[in-house]
Amino acid sequence: MPWNVAVEAGAVLGTAGIAARASRQRWLTRVAPLARELAIVLVLYALWRVVGTISVLKVNGAIHAGQRVWDLERAMHLPNEHGLQHLFLKSSPLIQACNVFYATVHIPSMGVFLVWLWFRHRDHYPAVRNVIALTTLWCLAIQLIPVAPPRLVPALHIVDTPALFGQTVYPAFGKSGPAQLSAMPSVHVAWAAIIGVTIVVATTTRWRWIALAHPIVTMVVVVVTGNHYWLDGVVGVIVAAAAVVFERCVRAAITRRRWTPAHTAARAAPG
């Protein structure tokens, strides 16, 4: 979905939500909060696409930055992306499945997750929504500094597997579309981590731990397809964790601020 379409859809849903909230129809007042939340998600999506376009225009230094990330990983003794990709390239169906996963799972999985959370675990929704918004915005701020993914750094000899099999979602440089120079950090991994951890925390079924496979698989996929470095995913998870801490601190501060005046007034009242 183009960013301008997302903005228009968000504006329509936001306006409809405001109108529905003022309606006397009971079912409309119930739909109003959902319309508002969908509008917020669409605006965040549009912002992500716009910032990605800005990053694409800043090509100078991106390849050098990518090389520096690679060198830092080697200094940290992280696994070599080239070795893992070579292992996956031995099976064409497997690497093509990874290409499809990268291209199709990221945004739909978040959409399905938010709908599920809204209807099944509404008490967790506000905090998680805030964490997703903060994580996305902070990642976008970092991505304004262009970093070329491994597949675009010639010296690394990482194969562009989506292009190899004609499954790429990226256009040529200078054309509108998803950002190619926004490797650091990985929003794919950050969102997947939020989804997996939230399912574990919000549910009680013994099968909930399977949800942690989502961020693990996502991390592997973004690496073997040549779209991200290991550090991109690590930083994405760190950003998401920082967003959780920040959201909780702000929420606690707001709660204390609301509670203290009421508590003081209650103590001052004559017994």
For 63, 119, 139, 167, the CA distances from 58, given in Å and listed in that order, are 11, 41, 17, 25
Percent of the chain surpassing pLDDT 70: 79
Residue recorded with tokens 């930083």: 235
Q: Indicate the pLDDT class of residue 176, thresholds 50, 70 and 90.
A: very low
* CA pair distance 231, 247, nearest whole angstrom: 24
**φ, ψ at 60 (rounded to 5°):** -60, 125
Residue 177 clears pLDDT 50, i.e. is over it: no
Contact 157, 201 (CB under 8 A): no
How confident is the model at residue 183, as a pLDDT? 83
Handedness of CA 221, 226, 232, 236 (dihedral sign): negative
How confident is the model at residue 93, as a pLDDT? 94
How confident is the model at residue 23, as a pLDDT? 65
Minimum mean pLDDT among 8-17, 111-120, 185-194: which range? 8-17
Tell me: cis bond preceding 215? Omega within 30 of 0 counts.
no
How confident is the model at residue 26, as a pLDDT? 65
What b-and-e string marks burial along 87-114, b requiring 16 or more CB atoms within 10 Å of the CB?
ebeeeeeebbebbebbbebbbebbeebb
Residue 165 clears pLDDT 60, i.e. is over it: yes
How confident is the model at residue 12, as a pLDDT? 72
Q: Indicate the pLDDT class of residue 43, thresholds 50, 70 and 90.
A: confident
Residue 35's contacts (CB-CB under 8 Å, 6 or more residues apart) are 13, 14, 16, 17, 20
How confident is the model at residue 246, as a pLDDT? 95
* CA pair distance 193, 183, nearest whole angstrom: 17
Residue 264 clears pLDDT 60, i.e. is over it: no
DSSP 20-43: HHT-S-HHHHHHHHHHHHHHHHHH
How confident is the model at residue 134, as a pLDDT? 92
Residue 174 clears pLDDT 50, i.e. is over it: no
How confident is the model at residue 150, as a pLDDT? 93
Q: Indicate the pLDDT class of residue 24, thresholds 50, 70 and 90.
A: low
What b-and-e string marks burial along 59-85, b requiring 16 or more CB atoms within 10 Å of the CB?
eeebbebbbebbeebeeeeeeebbeeb
How confident is the model at residue 267, as a pLDDT? 55
How much is the mean pLDDT over the chain?
Answer: 83
Residue 1 clears pLDDT 50, i.e. is over it: yes
Q: Indicate the SS3 state at residue 147.
A: strand
DSSP 195-227: HHHHHHHH---GGGGGGGHHHHHHHHHHHHTTS
Length of the chain: 271
